[in-house]
Homo-oligomer: A and B are copies of this chain.
């Protein structure tokens, strides 16, 4: 599983702003392009953004872009990879925290992700949700890439829920895989609404009812 320092990609902290990525496997220019692409695509989506705008914001000449990426489609797929790696770290950072009870790890992820949205005034959503919503207008190659990301996130979440089950944190006996998919379905809806309402309330409401369901409900699957 790829491990990267989230800050190197997301450019969400003052520290990361304008600094080249240190990973020797990626050139500084490629890293700047990825960072600019992630910022634009999490905020505005694929269709609304032109390569020219990304190049301008990354201060990269057009020729350099095509040195690293064959076209916008290849760039989009690289952005999905980068976002998956960043998010893998975010999820691992919470789910691997053995000092917390399993359900509190999921709560920690939600809290950190919400803080990330707050830092950008709830303008930036989830790259995978944005692209999933746009799928009918995107290159067909994106479909499997996006599905793979959701399946990765769901598998990690299902593990966390299994641990919760083993720890006696779930009142009943739901299927962790189904619950994890339910979580990610609702999560993307909650991010969409948080962007629309420019605040955390939809995420909070979704999380509250999801946890109450886990602890007091009994999915009939």
Using C-beta atoms within 8 Å of the partner chain, give the interface range for chain A.
35 or more
Contact between chains at B125 and A133 (CB < 8 Å): yes
Once the chains are docked, how many angstroms separate the CA of A134 from the CA of B43?
8
Give the residues in chain B near A136, CB-CB below 8 Å: 43-45, 123-125, 195
Instruction: Check if A47 is an interface residue, CB within 8 A of chain B.
Output: yes
For this chain, the copies found in one complex come to 2
Question: Looking at the complex, which of A82-90, A156-164, A176-184 is the stretch in contact with chain B?
Answer: A176-184
A74 to chain B, nearest CB (A): 19
A95 to chain B, nearest CB (A): 21
Instruction: Check if A7 is an interface residue, CB within 8 A of chain B.
Output: no
Contact between chains at A179 and B209 (CB < 8 Å): yes
Give the residues in chain B near A133, CB-CB below 8 Å: 45, 125, 129-130, 133-134, 192, 195
The interface centre, meaning the residue of A48, A146, A196 with most chain B CB atoms within 10 A of its CB, is A196
Instruction: Map CB proximity to B onto A196-221 as digits: 1 under 8 Å, 0 otherwise.
Output: 11100010011011011100111111
Once the chains are docked, how many angstroms separate the CA of A48 from the CA of B202?
27
Instruction: Check if A103 is an interface residue, CB within 8 A of chain B.
Output: no
Instruction: Check if A188 is an interface residue, CB within 8 A of chain B.
Output: yes
Contact between chains at B193 and A132 (CB < 8 Å): yes
Give the residues in chain B near A187, CB-CB below 8 Å: 189
